[in-house]
Amino acid sequence: KAGVTQTPRYLIKTRGQQVTLSCSPISGHRSVSWYQQTPGQGLQFLFEYFSETQRNKGNFPGRFSGRQFSNSRSEMNVSTLELGDSALYLCASSLVSPGLAGQETQYFGPGTRLLVL
Amino acid sequence: GDSVTQMEGPVTLSEEAFLTINCTYTATGYPSLFWYVQYPGEGLQLLLKATKADDKGSNKGFEATYRKETTSFHLEKGSVQVSDSAVYFCALSASTPLVFGKGTRLSVIA
């Protein structure tokens, strides 16, 4: 079974631009979560989608948004990019929502490395 | 809120040495506990997990036991290899998505 895939793997943008990242979960998984990883803040939760509905949201500004499609694929969008948005963005999928079942294991993709200049 | 504290690195060991990476947590309810590993330039890979008190997770020679009385989930391996060099993250999941520790970088030298 194929793992979680993320596209693109690398991205360079300039301040003020917007960016869209894509995540395809493991086949059959209906929950997708997004995390931001930076050297200073570590791994921080952005949001989680389950069955096309946002179930949970982390403490990020409204410039960060996401959505999930009927085939469980997910996208996240960052508008008006800032230098501090440079990070590795990780997507994780699970069968059901971790909010419904804390034992649910999340499987991660390789990430998209975003550099904002 | 929920939180995870793990020992700060970096940790440098010689091949075949014994490894312990400490992890303690604070959580309401009954969380599941995880160890993830991140190799250079890659995403996170699940290493092992435990879902209730006294459970022992194990994989690839690594072990960790869910200790509710000490709120700990320390990672151990009896004999490390150069290929174990990576960053290790302890994490918990209760009623919310994963909460991670800051990670411990392990370097194993031949």
Contact A45 B98 (CB under 8 A): yes
Task: pLDDT band for B29, please (50, 70, 90 cuts).
Answer: confident
Angle at alpha carbon of residue A59, lines to A78 and A87, rounded to 5°: 45
pLDDT at B77: 98
Angle at alpha carbon of residue B29, lines to B24 and A105, rounded to 5°: 75
What is the bridge-based pairing of β-strands B11-14 and B104-109? parallel
CA–CA dist B77, A109 (Å, integer): 26
Contact A102 B36 (CB under 8 A): no
Q: Which tokens belong to A60?
A: 């990020």
pLDDT at A98: 60
Peptide bond into B10 cis (omega under 30): yes
Q: Which tokens belong to B31?
A: 């969380």
Task: pLDDT band for B97, please (50, 70, 90 cuts).
Answer: confident
Min Cα separation A111/chain B (Å): 6
Identity of the residue in A102, A107, A108 whose CB atom sits nearest the CB atom of B93: A102
Buried b (16+ CB within 10 A) or exposed e, A64-103: bbbebeeebbbbbebeebeeebebbbbbbbbbebbbeebe
Closest CA to A88 of A47, A37, A49: A37
- Is B97's Cβ below 8 Å from some Cβ in A? yes
DSSP state of B45: E
Q: What is the pLDDT of residues B36-81, one digit of tens each?
A: 999 988 899 999 999 989 999 999 999 999 999 999 999 999 999 9
Min Cα separation B57/chain A (Å): 13
CA–CA dist B107, B19 (Å, integer): 11
pLDDT at B94: 78
What is the bridge-based pairing of β-strands B62-65 and B56-59? antiparallel
Contact B98 A48 (CB under 8 A): no
Identity of the residue in A99, A104, A108 whose CB atom sits nearest the CB atom of B44: A108
Task: pLDDT band for A105, please (50, 70, 90 cuts).
Answer: confident
Phi, psi of B56 (to 5 degrees): -115, 125
Residue linked to tokens 């997507």: A91
CA–CA dist A99, B2 (Å, integer): 14
- Is B98's Cβ below 8 Å from some Cβ in A? yes
Min Cα separation A34/chain B (Å): 10
pLDDT at A100: 59
- Taking CA–CA distances from B41, the nearest residue in chain A reads A110
- Is B87's Cβ below 8 Å from some Cβ in A? no
CA–CA dist B35, A9 (Å, integer): 24
Q: What is the pLDDT of residues A31-72, one digit of tens each?
A: 999 999 999 899 999 999 999 999 889 999 999 999 999 999
Are A35 and B93 in contact by the 8 Å Cβ rule? The answer is no
CA–CA dist B53, B60 (Å, integer): 22
Task: pLDDT band for A17, please (50, 70, 90 cuts).
Answer: very high
Query: Which residues from B are below 8 Å from A99, CB to CB?
Result: 95-97
Contact A45 B89 (CB under 8 A): no
A–B interface: beta-carbon pairs under 8 A: 61
3 state DSSP class of B98: coil
CA–CA dist A104, B106 (Å, integer): 27
